[in-house]
Structures are given as structure tokens and as C-alpha cells.
Amino acid sequence: MMKRVYNFYPGPATLPLGALETAQKELLDYKGTGMSIMELSHRSKQYAEIHEKASSLVKELMGLPDDYSVLWLQGGASTQFYMVPVNLGIQGKKMEYVHTGVWSKKAIKEAKFYGDVEIVASSEDQNFSYIPKDIVFSDKAAYAHITGNNTIYGTEFFNWPMTHTSVPLVCDMSSNIMDKVIDPKKFGVIYAGAQKNIGPAGVTLVIVREDLLQRVSENTPTMQKWKIHAEKDSLFNTCPVWAIYMCKLCLEHLQSIGGVSAIEKANRQKAKMLYDVIDGSNGFYQGHARPDSRSLMNVTFNLPTPELEAACVKEATEHDLIGLKGHRSVGGMRASIYNAMTLEGVQKLAEFLTTFKEENE
Amino acid sequence: MMKRVYNFYPGPATLPLGALETAQKELLDYKGTGMSIMELSHRSKQYAEIHEKASSLVKELMGLPDDYSVLWLQGGASTQFYMVPVNLGIQGKKMEYVHTGVWSKKAIKEAKFYGDVEIVASSEDQNFSYIPKDIVFSDKAAYAHITGNNTIYGTEFFNWPMTHTSVPLVCDMSSNIMDKVIDPKKFGVIYAGAQKNIGPAGVTLVIVREDLLQRVSENTPTMQKWKIHAEKDSLFNTCPVWAIYMCKLCLEHLQSIGGVSAIEKANRQKAKMLYDVIDGSNGFYQGHARPDSRSLMNVTFNLPTPELEAACVKEATEHDLIGLKGHRSVGGMRASIYNAMTLEGVQKLAEFLTTFKEENE
């Protein structure tokens, strides 16, 4: 008998059940080929169809204009932290970053290996509990970098800062890619580790406006150049076949339920359910994020004492509500409710939290 | 009804059926957790067990001394082509390479971004049909690099060149890792994309003697440093959970059938079966590799005409013998018979080739 829990892990995270079921069914013999997907050559026509479909689903679901390339790379957002300055840096120009948490700090650290970094806005003064407003990037920057959603602190950008037309906006969307409708034309580059919202760990989606592919110095190792990966359609070397296949299945699922606008509606409903419990708890649950900056993806909150927090996580686990311990930077609890988390799962969690409060306040 | 063909793809390649069956069985609900492996946090205790087991199997199967670190990275051998000079380069010292084919050429190209490369031996003069003998590396080199097996040309190192004790020998074993018993102490670094001999695409095994971890400059992006990955046990960032899990299953399979010495015996038997067909064909089949350099993993050969080669590949496919077309650099045919290819599969191919010759010579 198969068991299924409600998985609130921050990533790798819950995946659509239908996608997993298809993967299981096809695992030994992919569409009558007599081979597993994992055994298919990345140059085979069967895999080529999967690869192409995964990319076209990204384009379709996000409404990407024709002049954007979709790349499937490896190494996670952490690798993009250095590939962004490698591909977009311009000698003598500063790289401008907004600092909103642990992940932007890492992105900034890696960019500094390649030149001068300017932090144009930060929410460090209040333990990253908000998204800075009125961010002004200079028109002299090589690029402007933001972190779309801050998994650890539970804050999210809803209004994209303006940049000068010559300054591409670069966004790490690892934890909120496709969580809501966006206008892709506002971005020069979007990158995202797949393992939160669109698939399993092991592949990184990079979306680049094509004119920006030309910036990279010729004196750059081949695998570090987005340009090469774009020219070779992410098949310069052996791509992570299984991970891309899983992304395709997850994106097909997203398409089947109505695409990004439908999931945005569900995500807003899911997040509201939990924030309502927090706001209606008379202070028993304290949200970490300022209400105007609250993430749709990661709901972070504290309880009156660390003992109660530990008890709440433990009791939740006993109710098959898994992965709710907060990150050590914030403590408390965190419910990660990515695209694949069902309304039903969030409802169970909301009910559990309400009961836990009644029994423990 | 499940179909199973004989898959001679050069990589991604055939995997042990038992490993695939376990993966399929566990895919939806990993050991009663109510989650797929792909949904488990890379920091969870269930995944930690898998991760640790995969590494300890590498150590055990290869007989690694205690001072070697096992890393699970992303980006394929192509990424290691630049990570090798980043981590092992020494200012003012040459990096010495043996040039035995397409992959060594790529490795050399990437090293040149970081300093002077010396090619100390090459088999380019005879279209890479042999492994150079009497290779002499200088005692002044930063490191000495070889490609253990040349997938495209079907040649393989059986005798490891000597290096001065201060010069680590670095070997790309992507297509022959664990195909035969080796003395790991002869190597400073061994690296291998997993997708030929030990698992699926999407993870790269890197084995480093620990004193060499200290060479890297502090002024290096974090993700490029083996040292960081060693310190964090390959969990500095989200690792490719599924791919490492699959490697663990494949390595458990290898262990269950007797380990590397047993698979070496089978590999020699498999390779001999095909080379015997070639040698006994009165010139109908022409082996590309010189007999003393013949690979256990990739058997490359030509037929009298390109038309016969195409017909042979086509007819083989009709007999469920898949993936036999040679690489364009050599033409003809290539049978990749990695660890997971069964004796039975090779036998079928040998019989098919014998019959094809009789019918077409």
C-alpha cells in the first residue's frame, strides 16, 4: 500500500503525483523502446522530443518572447552565481545587487571574484524580513541582480524594480519560478534550480535574452559560456536526461491544470490560508515576513517558545505534515508550499496549526 | 508486457536491470516515507544514508586509501576539464597532457585558458588508433593528464604512465571507471561522468587525494573548488539526489556480482568475443584500434563499404541490438559494452555479426 505524506520541505520538494506516476510507469521501458529514459542516448530521437518539449513548455507557460533562449544546465543556482558575472560582467562597470537574504549574500560573494559589486538596497537591518522599496539601479551598471523569492526568510518580490534599458535585470527565481504570471520582457536573465517549483534536483533552468549571449569574453572556458549552451541547445555535453524528463512531466502537469495564471490563483489561496491562521492567532504565531513582502512559496513563522516550536514540528510530523522546521537563520517554522503542494495539504496544515494553538496557548 | 533491448549506446548507456527495477518499485514511496526520492530533502536522514552509502561503495569497490575524497559533482567531465587546471594548476608550471582523441583534445583546450599546456605524447598521427608507449612526464609539471579510455576510437590505457612523486597523475575515466582493477595510489585525481559505467547522466564522480585539495587559490569561485565540496561532503549546495541514488543502486549491483575483479573478468570475456569475430572475419570487419590498445568498453570497427555499415546497423536494430552506429570521427560501427552490458547481449551481437558477414561477404 502506497503511503503519501504532505511534504513541506524547502527543496527538493513535493512533485505532482501524476508526474511521479508517469515516471514510474515509464521507468523500465520508455514508450516501447525497450530502454529506460536513463539508458537512452541524449542524441537519440526519443530523447530529442523530450528535450524540445521541455523547452517549448517553458516558453509557452512563461510567455517568453522569441528572442529568449532556454538553457538546461547543471550545478544549481550556486553555479550561476559565478556564471552571471562571467557572462554579463563588463570591465570597468559595477555589478549591482539587492541584498535580501542568504542566497543574495552568496550571489554577491561569487560576483566579487570578477569585479566590483555595489549593494544598492538591503533588508539586512531587519533580519531580511522585507523586500526593499524604491530600489534605484544606476544606468552605469553591467547588470542588476535580485533574488525573486527568499526561501529562508519567506519574502518575495511582487513589483520588479526598474532598470535602465542598457542594464539587464537578472533574477534568481529558484524558489518562485512560475509561481505567478510575470512579464518576462522586464528581465535580461532568469535562472532557477529546478528542485523547488518545476522538477527534481539536478538541473538548472537559465533563460537569457539572446543579445546578452554575446557579452562573454572569448577567453572563457567553454562550459561557463551560456552562448555555447544556447548554440548547442543545451547539448554541448551530456545533459541530465532524467532531470529534464522529470521537468517536462511536471510542466505538462502545470499546463494541464491551466498554466501559470491558474497556479498563481491557487498559490495565493494557499498562502492566504496560512497567513490567515497566523494573523488570527492573537500573536501565538508570529510571521517573520512583513505583510507587504510575504512570500507565496515559503511561509515563515515563530511560536512563543523554542520548546513549542519543536513540539509543533514533532506533532505535525506525526500527522504526516513533513519538513516544517525553520531554517536556523530565522528559527521557528517554515511551510514551503510550492506549485506542487495541493490545496488539500495546506488545508490540513492550517487545521493542524489552529488546533495546536487551541491546545497550547 | 515490458520489452528489453540490447543497448550498445556509448553513454548514457544500459544500466543493470535490477537497479532499474528497484528504482521503479521505490519511486513513489521511498521505504515508507510517503515521498519519492526526488522529493526528499538532500538534508534528510533518509537521503544522508543513500549519499554515504554511494561514497562508501566507491571507496570499497575501488579499494581507495583513506586519504582520498569522493566527490559527487555536476556538469560532466566537460566541467572537470576546467576544474582540473583551476584546482591543480601552479603558476609557472606546465600542465602536461597525453593526447589520445576527441576528449583529450577538449581537456587540453580548456586547460589552455589557465596556463601553458604541453602535449607530451599523442596518437593523432594514426587517427588515435593506439595508446602511446613510453610516455615521459617531466618532474616540473603541475600535473600529468591522461584519458583512461577513448570512447570514440576504442582505445584504452592498461599500463599507467609513471610520474614523479610531486606530479599527480590525473585521469578522465568517464568511460572506463571500475571496468578493471586498478591501483588507485597511482593517481592524484580520477574523474568520471557517471553515465557510462556507474549510473545515469547528471552526476560526475571526482576522486581526489586529499593533499591536492589544498592547491586551489583562495581567489576561486566557491563551486569551482574541490576543497569546498570535500569539506561539505558534496552537500555545499543541493546535490543531484536522484542521480546519486541511481549510482548507489548500480554500485550495489556491482558489489553483489563480485565487485571490480569479477566485472573485469566478464569485461575481458565480452570484449574478446567481439574482437574474435573481427579477427576471424578475414578482413570483413576491420578493427580501428591497434590490438595492443583495444578497449574493453568500446569496440570500434569498419565494414568494407559505408553501405554495408549502414545495412549492418539497420539490421542489428531490427534484431533489438541498438546504438551501434560509430562516431563520425571514425565512421563504421561501435559496440559500447560497459559494465552493465550482459554477456548474453554481447553473445547475441557476436552471433549477429557472424551471420551478417556470412550473408554479405
Give the mean model confidence (pLDDT) for residues A331-356.
98
The CA-based angle B129-B132-B136, given to 5 degrees, is 165
Q: Is the pLDDT of residue B318 over 70?
A: yes
Q: Is residue B14 within 8 angstroms of chain A, CB to CB?
A: yes
Cβ contact, residue pair B41, A323, below 8 Å: yes
Q: Quote ipTM for the complex.
A: 0.98
For residue B10, which residues of chain A lie inside 8 Å, CB to CB? 41
Cell 522586464 appears where?
A186
Entry field: residues in chain A: 361
Q: Is the pLDDT of residue A303 over 90?
A: yes
Q: What is the pLDDT of residues B271-288, one digit of tens each?
A: 999 999 999 999 999 999
Q: Is residue A175 within 8 angstroms of chain B, CB to CB?
A: no
Q: Contact B259/B61 with Cβ under 8 angstroms?
A: yes
B5-20 residues labelled b (16+ CB within 10 A) or e (exposed): bbbbbbbbbbbbeebb
pLDDT at B328: 87
CA distance B235 to B231: 9
Q: Is the pLDDT of residue B159 over 70?
A: yes
For residue A241, which residues of chain B lie inside 8 Å, CB to CB? 12, 200-202
Residue A276 appears among annotated catalytic residues:
no
Provide the Cα torsion A150, A155, A161, A165; round to 10°.
Answer: 20
Confidence band for B251, pLDDT divided at 50, 70 and 90:
very high
Confidence band for B323, pLDDT divided at 50, 70 and 90:
very high
Q: Contact A213/A221 with Cβ under 8 angstroms?
A: no
Q: How many CB atoms lie within 10 A of CB B216?
A: 18
Q: What is the pLDDT of residues A185-233, one digit of tens each?
A: 999 999 999 999 999 999 999 999 999 999 999 999 999 999 999 999 9
Q: Which residues of B are catalytic?
A: 103, 172, 196
- Work out the percent of chain A whose per-residue pLDDT is above 70: 100
Q: Contact B143/B118 with Cβ under 8 angstroms?
A: no
Q: Contact A240/A72 with Cβ under 8 angstroms?
A: yes
Note the Cα A189 to chain centre separation in Å: 14
Reading the block at residue A159, the C-alpha cell is 513589483
Q: Is the pLDDT of residue B166 over 90?
A: yes
Q: So what's the architecture of A259-360 in CATH?
A: Alpha-Beta Complex (3.90)
Cell 545515469 appears where?
B200
In degrees and rounded to multiples of 5, residue A189 shows phi and psi of -140, 135
In degrees and rounded to multiples of 5, residue A133 shows phi and psi of -100, 170
In degrees and rounded to multiples of 5, residue B154 shows phi and psi of 75, 40
Domain ranges of chain B: 18-256, 259-360
Structure letter (DSSP) for residue B240: -
Number of H helices, E strands in chain B: 9, 14
pLDDT at B1: 64
Confidence band for A173, pLDDT divided at 50, 70 and 90:
very high
Give the mean model confidence (pLDDT) for residues B192-214.
98
Cβ contact, residue pair A240, B240, below 8 Å: yes
Q: Is residue B243 within 8 angstroms of chain A, CB to CB?
A: yes
pLDDT at A2: 78
Q: Contact A275/A288 with Cβ under 8 angstroms?
A: no
Mean pLDDT of chain B: 97
For residue A322, which residues of chain B lie inside 8 Å, CB to CB? 34-35
* Chains A–B, number of C-beta pairs less than 8 Å apart: 209
CA distance B100 to B177: 17
Q: Is the pLDDT of residue B234 over 70?
A: yes
Give the mean model confidence (pLDDT) for residues B202-228.
98
In terms of pTM, does the model score above 0.90? yes
- Work out the percent of chain A whose per-residue pLDDT is above 90: 98
Q: How many CB atoms lie within 10 A of CB B30?
A: 20
Confidence band for B329, pLDDT divided at 50, 70 and 90:
confident
Q: So what's the architecture of A18-256 in CATH?
A: 3-Layer(aba) Sandwich (3.40)
Q: Is the pLDDT of residue B206 over 90?
A: yes
Q: Contact B222/A107 with Cβ under 8 angstroms?
A: no
Q: Is the pLDDT of residue B301 over 90?
A: yes
Residue A172 appears among annotated catalytic residues:
yes
pLDDT at A1: 64
Q: Is the pLDDT of residue B182 over 90?
A: yes
Give the mean model confidence (pLDDT) for residues A131-137.
96
Confidence band for B2, pLDDT divided at 50, 70 and 90:
confident
For residue A20, which residues of chain B lie inside 8 Å, CB to CB? 27-28, 36, 38
Helix (H, G, I), strand (E, B) or coil at B210: helix
Mean pLDDT of chain A: 97
CA distance A106 to chain B (A): 9
Handedness of CA B308, B314, B319, B323 (dihedral sign): positive
Give the mean model confidence (pLDDT) for residues B38-64.
97
Give the mean model confidence (pLDDT) for residues B299-307.
97
Give the mean model confidence (pLDDT) for residues B155-181.
97
Reading the block at residue B156, the C-alpha cell is 584504452
CA distance A342 to A273: 12
Higher pLDDT, A254 or A2: A254
pLDDT at B241: 98
pLDDT at B191: 98
Terminal Cα-to-Cα distance of chain B (whole angstroms): 38
CA distance A341 to B273: 53
Cβ contact, residue pair A41, B11, below 8 Å: yes
Q: What is the pLDDT of residues A22-77, one digit of tens each?
A: 999 999 999 999 999 999 999 999 999 999 999 999 999 999 999 999 999 999 99
